[in-house]
Structure 1
Amino acid sequence: MMSVNRYRLKHLAQQGHPGANRVQFLLDRPDRLIGLILIGNNLVNIAASSIATILCIRLFGDAGIVVATFGLTLLVLIFSEVTPKTIAALHPERVAFPSSLLLKPMLTLLYPVVASVNFITNGFMRMLGVNPAAAGSQDALSSDELRSVVNEASSMIPSSHQEMLLSILDLEKVTVEDVMVPRAEIAGIDVQDDVKSMIKQLSQSQHTRLLLYRGEIDDAIGFLHARDIMQLLTKNNQETDKAEIIRSARDIYYIPEGTPLNVQLLKFQRAKERIGLVVDEYGDIQGLVTLEDILEEIVGDFTTSIAPAPSETAQLQADGSVLVEGVANIRDLNKEMNWQLPTDGPKTVSGLIIEQLGDIPQYPLCLRINGHAIEIVESTDSLVKRVRFLAEEQTP
């Protein structure tokens, strides 16, 4: 009974399995089930001990007490304890479901005795701070426990499905800052450009939505959708003015930095939005996040990404080292290379190194971060452009 998988049991009970329903009824109050089984078990054991002692004394005299003690102990261990309980532990459902046919009516028949015993034992347990009635509420799994269940079920779940399930569980640990397109890489159109240049940028862009701004990103006006501009051009016979383009811009949806991805996914759904600008506590634009960015965290890359893929920012060298661009995203590198770089601070390799050193290095040097030996290959006045992650055999 106690070895039955509770979640499979609940599934079978919901499917209307009669044996599962009986077992679930008995396990709802394990104190009563244990009381019933132990009453019968101890009654039989004590009775068997008394009968065996009387028989052995008649057959062997005073030595019959020793014979009865050791003989009955051996019989009980083999045929009443080790063998049946091992079989039941290995095949819990095959034993529990038929056993419930006997145990459930016995519980009804012996309920006064079971209730009396439980009243006394539960009183002692409450004195020890244990509430037997709360046993059924301890079946809920935490996210870490659920993650372990998914990992252990790898033989029954395709690896791609397993990765998606684990990614969903990790959404609450990832924020919009981890997946956003950095401010410097946001594709946009300056409203101060001429109309032809604006339309050309929109038609040649690989993205269907572009940010419309005035002079600089912080002075954002709205998002231009290629479909809206094409409809506008068709309506005006390929001629339109800047005012009409500005009016066609859609309102900007702002996202506070630090928002977990699972929360933002729900917000996108409720607001019926697909794109937004990430802003800090002062309202300054930090980056851009789309619905596709969040979905790719679950299912992997399936669209053309604004940011370069990790394979474009990390190149394996012949000597086993890895040449990495400074703008490479740390989380992407950890996934691709199976590294353990810290992700609770800066999002790029350049930012991580600058934080560790407390300054922007102006010449090549080496450092170690979380066990990774890193050589700075190239840097500028504002950032680290390229680094080399040394292989273990290259580490001094």
Structure 2
Amino acid sequence: MDNISTEMLFIVLGILILISAYFSGSETGMMSLNRYRLRHLEKQKHKGAKRVSKLLQRPDRLIGLILIGNNLVNIAASAIATIIGIRLLGDVYGVLAATVILTLVILICAEVTPKTLAALYPEKIAFPSSLILSLLLKVLFPLVVAVNWITNGILMLLGISSEQREQHSLSSEELRTVVNESGALLHKRDQDMLVSILDLEKVSVEDIMIPRSELVGIDVNDDWKRIQKQLTQANHTRVLLYRDSIDDVVGYIHARDALKMLSKSQFTKATLLRAVRELYFIPEGTPLNIQLLKFQHAKERLGLVVDEYGDIQGLVTLEDILEEIVGEFTTTMAPAPSDVVTLQPDGSYLVDGSASIRDVNKEMSWQLPTDGPKTLNGLIVEYLEDIPQNNLSVRIAGYPVEIVDVSDNMIKTVRVMPEHFVGAQTDEE
């Protein structure tokens, strides 16, 4: 070592610091890669991505290789810096100066700077580095395996297996965050549709069903001319048929079947009853994502929601579920939120008491509670535990609400005054 000039030692020291920076940056770049983008690039036959994926299959070996290389060059750099310090400043001050200066140089040039750069641009660092690391792994494989064997043994003593790795899978909440933060990569409408699909598991059939009180059907015990008139004036292609009351529902008739019989002059009450299609029943509380799959497997497009006693609660169609994802696209007899919410000159809103709370929240970006009653009338009655009188004012979830019209034991119209909102609250006041 005495035969090597000080200038040459400085050059070697600089090279070792650069190598240390390479190992530090490679480690951060490899570990900062987006695993899902990496899988996508791997499927696209990207060579760098394939090499990195192969290395990341055994992260213990990859980390072992990088740390072996990094520690070797750092220890070598420390030894050379000590020799240079002794030559220039003597035994005491030389060792002290070499320790302090080398620590600062390695910290700044071989740790913080390359790791920051790799964290900002992981693909640009990891993909080229994977070529060198793959070659080094082959050369140093016995040493890497030996080090891993020792470290894995220590982990086993601590009750940890090297096979117990964190699975890079996303929960629905994490996936929702990814979609919302996709920015310009996804159109806003596409983001809304994807989030709506994830939200299906949070919504049950009761939230979107046509309630029992609003079900429209035909009593097969009526006069035949009245039945014909009702069929010709029906607003839906599928019409419920019942005897005397909706509790005794017999099925439904498709308008296409009625037209076929009418075209063949075979349209009578007897043929109508023979053409009745069997109804599909849905237990209340069924999440929409589950019901969508059930509709698909059963090849059905509508079903009646029943409670635990078998009583009919309402009706759900396939279109209702699809509209939860893509928005309204079919003709419906139910009023749209814009039809049940009317802006007043003073800035308040008149809202139909029978309006769905979920629909009103969507339309107006309000946060009325949806974990209880489904309609505004039901929410207020539950809160007051009584049927209120006109001109009564309450505050629900921070929203000042005035009961404007009550008739037939139902709240028909309320006034909501958003300019007086006291912030979003989750609990009823």
Could you say which TM-score interval applies, normalised by the shorter chain?
over 0.9
Q: Write the deviation string for residues 106-152 of structure 1: whole angstroms up to 9, x where unpaired.
A: 223222222222233334434555443232x4200000000000000
Partners of 1:183 and 1:53 in 2: how far apart? 87
Mapped contact 1:53–1:68 kept (Cα < 8 A): yes
Letter in 1 for 2:369: P
Mapped contact 1:57–1:65 kept (Cα < 8 A): yes
- Match for residue 193 of structure 2 among 164, 169, 183: 164
Mapped contact 1:154–1:162 kept (Cα < 8 A): no
| Match of residue 73 from structure 2 | 44
- Match for residue 329 of structure 2 among 302, 309, 323: 302
How far is the alpha carbon of 1:35 from its aligned partner? 1.2
Q: Write the deviation string for residues 223-260 of structure 1: whole angstroms up to 9, x where unpaired.
A: 11111111111111xx6321111111111111111111
* 2:409 equivalent to 1:382: yes
| Match of residue 263 from structure 1 | 290
Q: Write the deviation string for residues 361-389 of structure 1: whole angstroms up to 9, x where unpaired.
A: 13431112211111111112422111111
Mapped contact 1:314–1:324 kept (Cα < 8 A): yes
| Match of residue 89 from structure 1 | 119
Partners of 1:21 and 1:394 in 2: how far apart? 55
* 2:167 equivalent to 1:138: yes
| Match of residue 241 from structure 2 | 212
Letter in 2 for 1:110: L
| 1:1-396 mapped onto 2 (5 Å cutoff) | 1-61=30-90, 62-135=92-165, 137-236=166-265, 240-393=267-420
- SS of 1:132's equivalent in the other structure is coil
Partners of 1:356 and 1:125 in 2: how far apart? 57
TM-score (norm. length: structure 2):
0.88
How far is the alpha carbon of 1:77 from its aligned partner? 2.2
- SS of 2:252's equivalent in the other structure is strand
Q: How many pairs does the alignment contain?
A: 392
4+ runs deviating over 6 angstroms: none
Mapped contact 2:403–2:415 kept (Cα < 8 A): yes
How far is the alpha carbon of 1:201 from its aligned partner? 1.4
Q: Write the deviation string for residues 178-212 of structure 1: whole angstroms up to 9, x where unpaired.
A: 11011111121111222222122122222111101
Partners of 2:419 and 2:211 in 1: how far apart? 32
Structure 1 residue runs of 5 or longer lacking an equivalent are: none
Partners of 1:319 and 1:261 in 2: how far apart? 39
Bigger mean CA deviation after superposition, 184-193 or 161-170: 184-193
Mapped contact 2:389–2:403 kept (Cα < 8 A): no
Mapped contact 1:377–1:387 kept (Cα < 8 A): yes
Bigger mean CA deviation after superposition, 290-299 or 246-255: 246-255
Partners of 1:375 and 1:124 in 2: how far apart? 69
Partners of 2:177 and 2:325 in 1: how far apart? 18
Letter in 2 for 1:328: A
How far is the alpha carbon of 1:67 from its aligned partner? 1.8
Q: Write the deviation string for residues 295-340 of structure 1: whole angstroms up to 9, x where unpaired.
A: 0000000001231111111112121211111100011111111111
Letter in 2 for 1:167: S
- Aligned Cα root-mean-square deviation (Å): 1.5
Shift of the 37–78 alpha-carbon distance from structure 1 to 2, 3 Å rule, reads same
Letter in 2 for 1:180: M
TM-score (norm. length: structure 1):
0.95
| Match of residue 13 from structure 2 | none
| Match of residue 425 from structure 2 | none
Mapped contact 1:29–1:133 kept (Cα < 8 A): no
Mapped contact 1:175–1:261 kept (Cα < 8 A): yes
